């Protein structure tokens, strides 16, 4: 009986300590930002520009936000008018970059955007709702400390962000 009670107590405590898991691939970009980041450890909120409606939430030691089966070590969540407006993360290995790139090529028609540097190629997809930008690097560039980088955001957020960057 004592063993059963101890087991039950342990199982209940594990259930209470369970952390939410969110697949960023499944977001609709209309989620309430406060609810989206509630109870997420190691999160840091910062203003974007001097506006009062654009924020970035940096999630250090990320264990909450996935992208398909990839768990980025750090995620930047972007908020605009109190809603999730986008996210960004690095891919620190070529294999992770290949996973993410393969999925994006299936879901979106990524097109060559620009050769930004000798080691960085930019791929882009855009429609009236979202903009996807993947900056990929060749396998040997990871050994030099470079990373792949993905940003997906709502079109209205991107337009406002670009407008503010030009000021």
Q: What is the pLDDT of residue 113?
A: 86
Question: d(Cα 2, Cα 144) in Å, to the nearest integer?
Answer: 57
Q: What is the pLDDT of residue 116?
A: 85
Question: What's the half-sphere exposure (Cβ side, CA atoms, 13 Å) at 158?
Answer: 18
Across the chain, which has 167 residues, the per-10-residue mean pLDDT values are 48 51 95 95 92 94 94 97 97 96 90 86 94 96 96 95 90
Q: Which strands sit side by side in the sheet containing 54-59, from one edge to the other?
A: 43-47, 54-59, 75-80, 83-91, 148-154, 130-136, 121-126, 111-115
Q: What is the pLDDT of residue 77?
A: 98
Alpha-helical runs (H) found in 18-154: 33-37, 94-107, 139-143
Global confidence as pTM:
0.85
DSSP-derived 3-state class of residue 20: coil
Question: d(Cα 85, Cα 66) in Å, to the nearest integer?
Answer: 16
Q: What is the pLDDT of residue 11?
A: 46
């Amino acid at each position: 009986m004592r063993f059963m009670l101890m087991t039950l107590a342990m199982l209940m405590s594990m259930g209470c300590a369970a952390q939410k898991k969110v697949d960023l691939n499944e977001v609709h970009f209309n989620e309430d930002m406060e609810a989206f980041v509630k109870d997420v450890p190691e999160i840091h909120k910062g203003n974007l520009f001097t506006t009062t409606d654009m924020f970035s939430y940096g999630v250090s030691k990320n264990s909450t936000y996935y992208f398909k089966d990839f768990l980025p070590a750090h995620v930047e969540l972007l908020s605009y008018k109190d809603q999730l407006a986008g996210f960004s993360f690095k891919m620190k290995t070529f294999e992770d970059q290949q996973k993410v790139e393969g999925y994006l090529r299936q879901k979106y028609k990524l097109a060559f955007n620009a050769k930004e540097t000798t080691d960085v190629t930019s791929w882009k997809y855009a429609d009236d709702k979202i903009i996807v930008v993947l900056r990929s690097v060749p396998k040997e560039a990871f050994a030099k400390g470079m990373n792949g980088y993905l940003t997906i955001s709502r079109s209205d957020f991107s337009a406002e962000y670009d407008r503010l960057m030009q000021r």
